[in-house]
Amino acid sequence: MACHALSRDGSKMALTLDGGNGEATILDVATRMPTTPLDGTLYWNFAAFEPGGERLVTATQGTLNLRSAADGSVITVISDVQTSPWATHPDVSPNGDAIAYVSVATPAADWHFSGGSIVTRSFDPGTATFGSPVTLVNGAENAYYPTFSPDGKWIMFNRSTEDAYDDASAELWVVKADGSEPASKIELPNVSSGLTNSWPRWTPFAQTVGEGANAEPLFWFTFSSKRAFGVRMAAGTRPQIWMAPFFPARVGTGEPSGPAFRLPFQNLNGNNHIAQWTEEIVPVN
């Protein structure tokens, strides 16, 4: 099992099998059974479901497609590598009206490239059509792994000086989804350089902290990091999932986040790269 994505209701999982450029499928999470044919006809490396889970956006060797979650068939070609820049790492906004992805200047594979820029496009779910690309973060320094906040107003992403694959220099950044705020690094969760702080993913739930005039919105996010875990794991050993808060009202006025903590119940001998969040619990047979 390689890269994977869950629908927001937790009922479907899109999977790439046997590593990069391997065959892909969609699983029914409750039964753990594939719902698309495993006959060598479906391939993608990254995927993201739209909110209702009926369709998903996939990245296949630089091409983005909107597909049916029922059988994996292509509904709309969003960006064709034959006529457009290489595109990868898609995400869909929580209300389904936009997508974010990486436009690549120098590609080697969907997961391995340089010169990545963070791009958004509007999406009309009714007509399955997409607007023109809007670049939020240019590829002067490699940017990748974009993900929409629960309110759709922010995009967190990675930036590194390497090739986007297991980059020790990877750090967490955030940018306003409408482009009205410049990208800024999140300092406290990054801690320091060289920790492979990768794969940010927001929890789907917006919260509020404080009372009265002091109340402010709060979102949580997770990411993968090779930082030290007490005396049990030295820095640089293997990735584990860590979690930190994000306070959107503090962007531009101070540090918008806080220190990260390691999520419990992880196998210390495992390499944990990405957390996938759902809005509901699905019992698994």
Kindly report, residue by residue over 194-203, the tens digit of the pLDDT: 999 999 999 9
pLDDT value at residue 158:
98
- pLDDT-above-90 percentage for the chain: 93
Look at the chain and report how many structural domains it folds into.
Answer: 1
CA distance 234 to 171: 19
DSSP 217: E
Residue 220 in domain: no
Alpha helices in the chain (DSSP H): 187-190
Residue 283 in domain: no
What SS3 state is found at 128? coil
pLDDT value at residue 285:
87
Beta bridge partners of 34: 27
Q: Tell me: pLDDT of 124 over 90.
A: yes
Residue 205 in domain: no
- Which value, in Å, is the radius of gyration of the alpha carbons in the chain? 18
- pLDDT-above-70 percentage for the chain: 100
| Mean of all residue pLDDT scores within the chain | 96
pLDDT value at residue 162:
97
Q: Tell me: pLDDT of 37 over 90.
A: no
Residue 215 in domain: no
Residue 136 in domain: yes
Q: Tell me: pLDDT of 1 over 90.
A: no
CA distance 123 to 34: 28
CB 191 within 8 A of CB 166: no
Q: How far is CA 152 from CA 25, 99, 177, in A?
A: 27, 10, 7
Residue 56 domain boundaries: 4-190
Average pLDDT over residues 13-28: 95
CB 136 within 8 A of CB 183: yes
Residue 92 in domain: yes
Residue 208 in domain: no
Q: How far is CA 207 from CA 64, 138, 204, 210, 246, in A?
A: 33, 31, 10, 10, 10
What SS3 state is found at 248? helix
Q: What is the pTM of this model?
A: 0.96
CATH of the domain at 120: 2.120.10.30
pLDDT value at residue 195:
97
Higher pLDDT, 177 or 39: 177
